Amino acid sequence: MNNYCLSYSFAEYLPQPIFSMFSWLNGNNPKQKDQDDLTIDRGYDFSGVLEWFAERVDRIILLFDAHKLDISDEFKRCIEALSGNEDKIRIVLNKSDMVDHQQLMRVYGALMWSLGKVFKTPEVARVYISTFWDNPLHYDINRRLFQDEKHDLFGDLQSLPRNAALRKLNDLIKRARLAKVHAYIIAELRKQMPSMIGKEKKKKELIQKLDKIFDQLQKEHNISPGDFPDVNKMREHLQNADFQKFNAIKPRLLEVVDNMLATDIGLIEDTTFLVFLNGNEDKIRIVLNKSDMVDHQQLMRVYGALMWSLGKVFKTPEVARVYISTFWDNPLHYDINRRLFQDEKHDLFGDLQSLPRNAALRKLNDLIKRARLAKVHAYIIAELRKQMPSMIGKEKKKKELIQKLDKIFDQLQKEHNISPGDFPDVNKMREHLQNADFQKFNAIKPRLLEVVDNMLATDIGLIEDTTFLVFLNGLQNA
């Protein structure tokens, strides 16, 4: 990225609530140019710049106007530069109100046809069909479609902060695998180079047959084809490289990468996933698998690191139960903890075998949880409705209420003596409220709340007693 490129780069600040959680990059759209002008006008590698940004952003949005679908040669190369980041790409067919419903179908079909030729993945790309200007709709027949598509797109964008940690983790895994494959390629090229005569000739030969070397390494080391770099780009990079300076393979470094991918990454993935299980901690069981791969001293440190991470993720004061064992058929790598692994495995299987007996109690607990949540939800909705103005300043008041939702939760907690654990997650609730119409919220209905209270106080207690008696009867017959 040279100074010429930077001189054409700028930042835009937009007063849009949806952009408050993440950064927005707006790249200039490649115009329809003659092929000979593409490299002359810009003065820098536009596709290369896009590739650099694509590796670092959370979401890439490609905009197409419904009345101008042509994909120029440069735009095609730009899309190809995004290869490997297809999971980040979202496509928007903008200004879709400029054509009627019949033309829109043909425009959409033509766009999918063109994109199918450019994208190399078998998965069909998701295209959002809408219009994003403030002008009245030119053709009104598809208004509902445009609203639904816009809602889906904004929902996808609002999910980015939640998924940021997983994306960074996936990027780390991708780079680690690429580094490992790169080491194999470099070592193989170094190994095949002559020590004295014919170095330059051999170098050209190796670059020419690089695709065959990729195939060979893929079979030898059981590497996925998707983990290899682009063969043509690799050829370009190798043109000016000195193969004699390449290093031989270092097994110790590869072992470090393998351990990271097998153990450390799995640990991070598990703890990241646990964030989405919030509110269901009583159902969660955690297994520290392949524990025989480390000795007893390392196992203590690994277990401690896991508990440290889990303590940050789980919001409950109770210490999570972790079963330390190994679940493959291979002989134990370190045998010193055999007895521990057997006892832990026995406890885990015992817990799993108790599930059928505890199923009724679990369903009952779920019913209680949903009933309490419904009651709290009714209080929240009624409070938001009560604080809304009847005429002027509705949108401003809505934003204010969403912003101070945590304070409303505290207020309701004190007023109605509600446990903090019965409230929904405040950030998720804010997301759900963004597109809600507060004017349509219902006031509180005391009769319905009374029904819920009676159910929780009387009916549930009666069911719990009979369920417990059934459980005791099962124990007596066992």
Q: Map residue 181 onto helix, strand or coil.
A: helix
Q: Using an 8 Å Cβ cutoff, are 95 and 125 in contact?
A: no
Residue keyed to tokens 């194999």: 184
Is the model's pTM score more than 0.75? Answer: no
Same domain, yes or no, for 248 and 300?
no
Domain that holds residue 194: 163-253
Same domain, yes or no, for 457 and 404?
yes
Q: For the chain, what is the domain count? A: 4
Same domain, yes or no, for 234 and 173?
yes
Same domain, yes or no, for 326 and 363?
no
* C-alpha–C-alpha distance, residues 173 and 261, integer Å: 7
pLDDT at 214: 92
Q: Map residue 13 onto helix, strand or coil.
A: coil
DSSP 8-class letter at 321 = P
Residue keyed to tokens 């297809």: 86
Q: What is the pLDDT along the chain (478 residues), one digit of tens a residue?
A: 556 666 666 666 666 555 554 555 444 444 444 444 444 456 667 777 888 888 888 888 888 888 777 777 777 878 888 887 888 889 899 988 888 888 888 888 888 888 877 777 777 778 898 888 888 888 888 888 888 888 888 888 887 776 666 677 677 777 788 888 888 998 888 888 887 788 888 888 999 999 999 999 988 888 888 788 888 888 988 988 888 888 888 887 877 777 766 665 555 555 555 555 566 677 788 888 888 888 877 788 788 777 777 777 776 667 778 898 888 888 888 888 888 888 988 998 888 887 776 666 666 666 677 777 888 888 898 889 888 888 888 888 998 999 999 999 999 988 888 888 788 888 888 988 988 888 888 887 777 777 767 766 665 555 554 444 444 444 444 4
**CA distance readout (Å), 54 to 73, 119, 170, 411:** 19, 15, 14, 45
Among 236, 253, 270, identify where a domain stops. Answer: 253
Quote the strand ranges of 58-176, DSSP E. 60-65, 89-94, 127-129
Among 220, 253, 286, identify where a domain stops. Answer: 253
* C-alpha–C-alpha distance, residues 364 and 368, integer Å: 6
DSSP 8-class letter at 72 = -
Q: Using an 8 Å Cβ cutoff, are 99 and 107 in contact?
A: yes
Residue 273 lies in a domain: no
Same domain, yes or no, for 140 and 34?
yes
Q: Smallest Cα–Cα separation from 304: which of 318, 324, 284, 285?
A: 324
Q: Map residue 94 onto helix, strand or coil.
A: strand
